[in-house]
């Protein structure tokens, strides 16, 4: 198996996607209705994040976000829960 | 109903002209993707309604994390699909234009620059690397093998109990600092090796443990722009580093290929 096959399309953490699409990509000024100024995830309230992850798990079950496996969401939810317990 | 345009990205007209987009998902799940050509480039958009994506509505919705997560994920998913079809300059989440006229104005101003950028990005991929380290092994290594530490230990053993306590604390701190140094030099070395295989690199902020939820330290977070021909070599180097570093607590995570989010900035960081 090539290395590429081994790595390609591995599941990406939701937080990684958020960090990138909210912060990177080309930003166009003017004429834009709204541009979300880089939301810094590091400073986001983790509790808010957890509750919204829970919402997403729910919607994944409702097939709303069918491609996000609930197993993956559960894992992330656990990780976030651990993080808040510690803080 | 007033119509806004949600802009996903810019591609070369030649690459998208004869492609079929009607089956694709869109950000609102209602309207279809449209391709608006201008000069050599084409904007990939889908109409959205003011009631859902207007300025005032978005100000409220972007504070609802569940909405942001669902839509940002969808944005990413759509861009992933588009990138399979053509070389793409990806737009930031919620890049919305007021009308076709304002889109044309943007295209007019930047079409040449975008076309050059697209040619440069053609055949390249963005890969993202995160390097984690469980400091246990490095700590042990430093504590046992660092010459200064052996010497300090002997000195401490000659001291009074109170002094010993203080000096031991200091020594622990010193060990931690050495571990961080070790981590940094490992990361620097490996990044240098990888950079040789890449067109460009973009260092990202490392996340603290409350964000990663991991026991390991995140020591490196970086995006790499790599020519497709070099990707296999790059990934093989990552695999090798993962195998070699395992015993000293290293773990490398690679994801990709991503839309080229980190390498689409123009000469000016923002398009005026």
Q: Kindly tell me if the per-residue pLDDT of A81 is higher than 50.
A: yes
Scanning A25-64 for CB atoms below 8 A from B yields 25-36, 39, 41-42, 44, 46, 48-49, 51-53, 55-56, 59, 64
Residue B270 falls within a domain, yes or no?
A: no
- Same domain, yes or no: B31 and B153: no
Residues in chain A closer than 8 A to B98 (CB atoms): 31, 33
- Same domain, yes or no: B250 and B186: yes
What would the pLDDT profile of B89-144 be if each residue is shown by its tens digit?
Answer: 999 888 888 888 888 988 898 899 999 999 999 999 999 999 999 999 999 999 89
pLDDT at residue A76, rounded to an integer: 59
A25–B55 CB contact, under 8 Å: no
The ipTM of this complex is 0.81
Residue A62 falls within a domain, yes or no?
A: yes
* Distance from C-alpha of B129 to C-alpha of B202, rounded to nearest angstrom: 11
- Can you give the residue range of the structural domain that contains B170? 125-262
Choosing from B122, B143, B166, the residue where a domain stops is: B122
Of B23-37, B52-66, B84-98, B239-253, give the lowest mean pLDDT range.
Answer: B52-66
Residue B133 falls within a domain, yes or no?
A: yes
What would the pLDDT profile of B139-190 be if each residue is shown by its tens digit?
Answer: 999 989 888 888 888 899 899 888 999 999 999 999 999 999 999 999 999 9
Residues in chain B closer than 8 A to A52 (CB atoms): 64-66, 68-69
Q: Note the residue count of chain A.
A: 87
CB contact A2 to B (< 8 Å):
yes
Task: Quote the number of domains for chain B.
Answer: 2
Q: Which residue has the higher pLDDT, B185 or A82?
A: B185
CB contact B168 to A (< 8 Å):
no
């Amino acid at each position: 198996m090539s290395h590429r096959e081994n790595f390609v399309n591995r599941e990406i953490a939701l937080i990684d996607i958020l960090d990138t699409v909210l912060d990177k990509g080309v930003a166009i000024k003017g004429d834009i209705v709204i541009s979300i100024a880089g939301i810094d995830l590091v400073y986001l309230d983790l509790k808010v994040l957890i509750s919204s992850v829970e919402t997403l798990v729910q919607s994944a079950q409702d097939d709303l976000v069918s491609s996000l496996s609930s197993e993956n969401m559960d894992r992330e939810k656990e990780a976030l829960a651990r993080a808040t317990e510690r803080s | 109903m007033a119509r806004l345009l949600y802009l996903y990205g810019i591609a070369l007209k030649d690459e998208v002209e004869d492609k079929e987009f009607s089956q694709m998902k869109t950000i609102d799940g209602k309207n279809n993707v449209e391709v608006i050509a201008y000069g050599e480039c084409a904007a990939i958009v889908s109409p959205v309604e003011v009631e859902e994506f207007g300025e005032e509505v978005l100000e409220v919705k972007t504070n609802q994390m569940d909405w942001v997560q669902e839509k940002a994920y969808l944005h990413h998913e759509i861009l992933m699909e588009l990138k399979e079809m053509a070389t793409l300059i990806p737009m930031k989440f919620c890049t919305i234009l007021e009308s076709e006229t304002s889109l044309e104005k943007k295209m007019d101003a930047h079409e040449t620059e975008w076309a050059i950028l697209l040619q440069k990005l053609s055949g390249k991929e963005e890969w993202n690397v995160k390097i984690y380290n469980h400091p246990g092994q490095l700590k042990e290594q430093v504590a046992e093998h660092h010459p200064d530490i052996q010497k300090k230990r002997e000195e401490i053993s000659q001291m009074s109990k109170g002094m010993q306590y203080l000096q031991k604390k200091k020594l622990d701190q010193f060990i931690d600092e050495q571990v961080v140094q070790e981590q940094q030099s490992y990361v620097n070395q490996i990044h240098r090796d990888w950079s040789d295989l890449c067109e460009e690199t973009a260092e990202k902020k490392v996340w603290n443990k409350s964000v990663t939820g991991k026991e390991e330290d995140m020591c490196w977070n970086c995006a790499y722009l790599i020519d497709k021909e070099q990707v296999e070599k790059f990934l093989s180097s990552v695999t090798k580093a993962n195998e070699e570093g395992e015993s000293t607590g290293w773990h490398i995570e690679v994801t990709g290929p991503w839309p080229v989010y980190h390498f689409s900035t123009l000469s000016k960081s923002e398009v005026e």
